[in-house]
Amino acid sequence: MPARKPPAPVPFVLDFLARAYPDARILLDYRSPFELLVATVLAAQCTDERVNRVTPGLFRKYPDPRQFARASQEELEEAVRPTGFYRNKAKAIRGLSGAIVERHGGKVPDTMEALTALPGAGRKTAWILLGACFGAKDALPVDTHVGRVSFRLGLTAAKDPERIEQDLAAAVPASRRWEFATRLGWHGRRICVARRPLCSQCGLAKVCPRNGVTSSG
């Protein structure tokens, strides 16, 4: 039986990502923490591009948490229908908007505990807010792309996002986790794609234990 290849060395990965994607950022359009929070909820099982087409009109109609909280379930469902799963998304947005108004005076909180206490906001959503809006360098959101590429690089053997987050937190310095997650996400969208990763074009190929493997794992 051949020896198991070691995981990709994290310092190499970090240096490559910094060179390849220096301008990596969240691809959702937003002007405030609240807008990013709503957009992140809408982005579940939906492309960022489609969300960005919906949110300009949505935020013109409902400019703040109070307006969202006052909206009826039916009218909000109709407003977010193009993003899919619109009933659950409308319910979550109304719920978190009301919670922000009642518990935080209309201002999005800036702690993991308070954010994950909002309806519809899990750890990934909280980390996105903390990293993009509040400057948390240790923010480590695990989306589909981060999970897939981390698995292929041997940085985790887990499939559950929270377990993946734990593995990555143990491997990546706290001060570089946000840049790691955002840049790795870009790499997953552009090169290490799900079905047919472009290994011949990948700057991480020589350290990747799955080099040349084209499965979706």
Task: Tell me the residue range of the domain where 15 lies.
Answer: 10-24+140-207
The number of distinct structural domains making up the chain is 2
Q: Say whether both 39 and 19 belong to one domain.
A: no
46 and 16 within one domain: no
Q: pTM, whole model, 2 decimals?
A: 0.92
Active site residue 143: yes
Name residue 192's amino acid. Answer: C
Residue 43 lies in a domain: yes
Same domain, 14 and 54: no
One domain, residues 16 and 70 = no
Task: Specify the CATH number for the domain of residue 68.
Answer: 1.10.340.30
Question: Looking at 124, 137, 138, 167, which residue is catalytic?
Answer: 124
Q: Rounded distance, CA 33 to CA 20, Å?
A: 27
Choosing from 84, 107, 130, the residue where a domain stops is: 107
Is residue 19 domain-shared with residue 42, that is, in the same domain?
no
Tens digit of pLDDT for each residue in 91-149?
Answer: 999 999 999 999 999 999 999 999 999 998 999 999 999 999 999 999 999 999 999 99
Residues 40, 19: one domain? no
Answer yes or no: 138 catalytic. Answer: no
- Catalytic residue of the set 23, 143, 160, 206: 143
The tens digit of pLDDT for each residue in 63-94 reads: 999 999 999 999 999 999 999 999 999 999 99
